[in-house]
């Protein structure tokens, strides 16, 4: 078996989109230069990247980096029509497709509290089967449109949003068509009470993109016990890079190897770069994944996870 993955990074290690004060002084050029030096093959997009396809290509080519993907803030759970959402996504979809991205990170932001001061238990929820079905049907049709342009929708389960827990993910996957891919985020699923390895294995055939972040258990428990908001949790260091927290990435990588996953592994760990220096932590995350991927390439196709 050939384990054909690429290791990319999200610029959130340098500068945060949800909380621009974290790393706001760090330039895009510094992030790209340091990411390339570390060994990353590509970057996901952030708010400091140009939004013109040609200009974006110029910036990435300068550092010999690929465009991995880019977050899209979706509103399909609102009263907007499918046609309105398709019209809204077209510039972003063109930006990604023109620069070689095969997946688009979809984050549902309708009523989301990920950027507010509300405690996480106040997140929105679908209240009945009809609401779940209506949303899932719109999402499938929307994903069918992005796929027709060569870009698969990668649905991001996220703290503070409609789809957060293992139950939410299972419900969504059961109601949507295969056009809807799943972005597996190791840190978010652990924070939401799930076992990363169990959730990864359960949905392995729908997973088309992966965010690799680790969790500091002591901070996570404090966030849950004290009713912190998502941003409070981030500022206090709930997330970190692979190899610096409680998640066993060796088993995750082993499972991905066995199922021949061939997409991106993206280091994405929201932290304050003053507390967790960007280059140091981005390199720590890269080195940890690189070593694990190298080890997994020797696993035979009939290997078992112990």
pLDDT, residue 31, reads: 94
What per-residue confidence (pLDDT) applies to 2?
Answer: 60
pLDDT for 15 equals: 84
Q: Quick one: pLDDT at residue 140?
A: 98
> CATH classification of 6-296 is 3.20.20.150, yes or no?
yes
pLDDT along the chain (306 residues), means of 10: 84 80 82 97 96 97 98 95 97 98 98 94 97 98 98 98 98 98 98 98 98 98 96 95 97 96 94 89 97 71 37
Q: Whole-prediction pTM value?
A: 0.94
CA dist., res. 264 & res. 231, Å (int): 26
Locate the domains of the chain by residue range: 6-296
Q: How far is CA 270 from the centre of its chain?
A: 11
Write the CB contacts of 183 (distance below 8 Å, at least 6 apart in sequence). 103, 105, 106, 154, 155, 156, 157, 207, 208, 209, 210, 211
Tell me how far apart the alpha carbons of residues 229 and 114 are, in angstroms, rounded to a whole number.
7
C-alpha to C-alpha distance for 181 and 153, rounded to whole angstroms:
6
Fill in the DSSP letter of residue 185.
Answer: E
């Amino acid at each position: 078996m050939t384990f054909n993955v690429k290791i990319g990074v999200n610029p959130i290690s340098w500068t945060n989109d949800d909380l621009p004060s974290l790393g706001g002084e760090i330039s895009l050029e510094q992030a790209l230069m340091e990411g390339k030096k570390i060994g990353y093959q590509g970057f996901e997009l952030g708010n400091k990247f140009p939004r013109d396809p040609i200009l974006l290509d110029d910036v990435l080519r300068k550092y010999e980096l690929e465009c991995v993907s880019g977050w899209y803030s979706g509103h399909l759970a609102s009263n907007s029509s499918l046609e309105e959402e398709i019209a809204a996504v077209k510039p972003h979809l063109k930006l990604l497709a023109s620069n070689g991205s095969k997946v688009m990170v979809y984050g549902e932001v309708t009523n989301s509290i990920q950027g507010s001061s509300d405690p996480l238990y106040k997140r929105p929820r679908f209240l009945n089967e009809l609401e779940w079905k209506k949303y899932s049907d719109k999402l499938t049709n929307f994903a069918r449109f992005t796929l027709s342009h060569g870009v698969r929708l990668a649905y991001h389960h996220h703290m503070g949003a409609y789809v957060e827990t293992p139950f939410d993910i299972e419900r969504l996957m059961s109601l949507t068509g295969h056009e809807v891919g799943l972005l597996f985020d190791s840190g978010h699923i652990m924070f939401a009470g799930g076992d990363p390895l169990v959730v990864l294995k359960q949905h392995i055939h729908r997973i088309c993109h992966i965010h690799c972040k680790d969790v500091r258990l002591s901070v996570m428990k404090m966030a849950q016990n004290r009713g912190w908001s998502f941003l409070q949790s981030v500022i206090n260091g709930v997330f970190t890079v692979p190899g610096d927290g409680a998640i066993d990435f060796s088993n995750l990588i082993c499972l991905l190897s066995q199922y021949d996953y061939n997409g991106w592994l993206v280091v994405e760990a929201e932290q304050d770069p003053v507390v967790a220096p960007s280059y140091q932590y981005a390199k720590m995350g890269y080195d940890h994944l690189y070593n694990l991927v190298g080890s997994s390439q020797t696993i035979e196709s009939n290997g078992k996870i112990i």
